[in-house]
Amino acid sequence: MEEIKYKEYFLFMLYPYKREEIDESQINQIEITESDVYRVLGEIGKIERKKDEKIQITLILDSVGGEIYPSYKIINLLRNKCDKLSVFIPEKAKSAATLMTLGADEIIMSAESELGPLDLPMREHPMLEEMKEFSALDVVRPFSLLYDNAKNLAINNLGIVLRKNVGLSRKDSVKIALEFSKDYVNPIICKIDPLLFSKSYRLLQIAQEYAREFLARYMFKNDSYETKLKKSESIAYELVWGFPEHGFVINRERARKQLKLNIVDVESFKGLSEFGKNLLNKPVMEKIIKLNKELKL
């Protein structure tokens, strides 16, 4: 089979700052925002495709995340412009940036590269007076834990004790146990803002749906219909619900073996020209990131 030859293009999206290093007016220097959509649109508008020419874009992405909708839009813009999309992570692509990597054909990672869970951060809520942000999963997960504990308490513990030791009927035992469980969880549930819960749950559903869409449409596009749907659903669910906290590090071995993503080691990557290989070289990337930070690009 003849090897497909691509014309290479490189797009840098580097956000080297930490939130504590800047003020809110400089938010676009640490994370992905709507302004990036227009910047990317301008950059890919410079690409001129000749007849029968195949385009490969390598996105060099370093970000703690950002807004989910701009991230989704950017990948759609890039996919509409190229035949193959690779994403290289010099250091980190967390949260919404992780979502962007799922829209690639392959994710290029080094030993230092990190992905992260898709339990997207919440902002602009009264709870944030003392916290700059918190995970949407931190709002939703307590309900699941409370349900499991209440169910276990009612059915597996108190209900059985009442039947065996007190001699009540199954019906009466279950009724008492359920009443006790309700009294146990109600004071906790009443303290949770229903609007916050609804917003958090919707955000997690959106992240899961976008992840599933990207994986099925792009990364696993060559698999059978049933296989790509099953894989995409499993990975999307794991990324949203399967990790204990927002800062959890997903290195390339975990991304490859646990999540089954299409991971390529940067050390052995053969999908680029010599220029591209030299560009992704670690010392070169470190200098680019340092210069980007110094110039505040």
pLDDT at residue 251, rounded to an integer: 97
Q: Is residue 140 part of a domain?
A: yes
Average pLDDT over residues 243-257: 92
Considering the domain architecture, whether residues 178 and 263 belong to the same structural domain is answered as: no
pLDDT at residue 297, rounded to an integer: 43
Q: What CATH number is attached to the domain comprising 12?
A: 3.90.226.10
Burial 73-83 (b: 16+ CB within 10 A, else e): bbbebbbebbe
Considering the domain architecture, whether residues 147 and 104 belong to the same structural domain is answered as: no
Contacts of 72 (CB under 8 A, 6+ apart): 99, 210
Considering the domain architecture, whether residues 160 and 225 belong to the same structural domain is answered as: no
pLDDT at residue 199, rounded to an integer: 80
Cβ–Cβ under 8 Å, residues 104 and 88: no
State the total domains in the chain: 2
Q: Is residue 235 part of a domain?
A: yes
Average pLDDT of the chain is 79
Considering the domain architecture, whether residues 12 and 70 belong to the same structural domain is answered as: yes
Considering the domain architecture, whether residues 115 and 247 belong to the same structural domain is answered as: yes
Least reliable range by pLDDT among 234-238, 270-274, 287-291: 287-291
Considering the domain architecture, whether residues 156 and 28 belong to the same structural domain is answered as: no
Residue 31: pLDDT band with limits 50, 70, 90? confident
Least reliable range by pLDDT among 79-83, 195-199, 257-261: 195-199
Q: What is the pLDDT of residues 253-277, one digit of tens each?
A: 999 999 999 999 988 776 665 655 5
pLDDT at residue 278, rounded to an integer: 62
pLDDT at residue 273, rounded to an integer: 59
Average pLDDT over residues 195-206: 81
Cβ–Cβ under 8 Å, residues 143 and 121: no
Q: Is residue 202 part of a domain?
A: no
Max Cα distance, the chain (Å):
83
Q: Is residue 199 part of a domain?
A: no
Considering the domain architecture, whether residues 98 and 244 belong to the same structural domain is answered as: yes
Q: What is the pLDDT of residues 93-122, one digit of tens each?
A: 999 999 999 999 999 998 999 999 998 776
Q: Is residue 200 part of a domain?
A: no
Considering the domain architecture, whether residues 17 and 106 belong to the same structural domain is answered as: yes
Residue 184: pLDDT band with limits 50, 70, 90? low
Q: Is residue 201 part of a domain?
A: no
Considering the domain architecture, whether residues 145 and 44 belong to the same structural domain is answered as: no
Containing domain of residue 171, as a range? Answer: 134-192
Considering the domain architecture, whether residues 149 and 230 belong to the same structural domain is answered as: no
Burial class (CB in 10 A: 0-12, 13-18, 19+), 66: buried
Considering the domain architecture, whether residues 180 and 264 belong to the same structural domain is answered as: no
Measured CA to CA, the distance from residue 104 to residue 276 in angstroms comes to 17
Least reliable range by pLDDT among 119-123, 173-177, 290-294: 290-294
265: nearest Cα among 248, 276, 280, 287: 280
Q: Is residue 44 part of a domain?
A: yes
pLDDT at residue 71, rounded to an integer: 96
Considering the domain architecture, whether residues 223 and 288 belong to the same structural domain is answered as: yes
Q: What is the pTM of this model?
A: 0.77
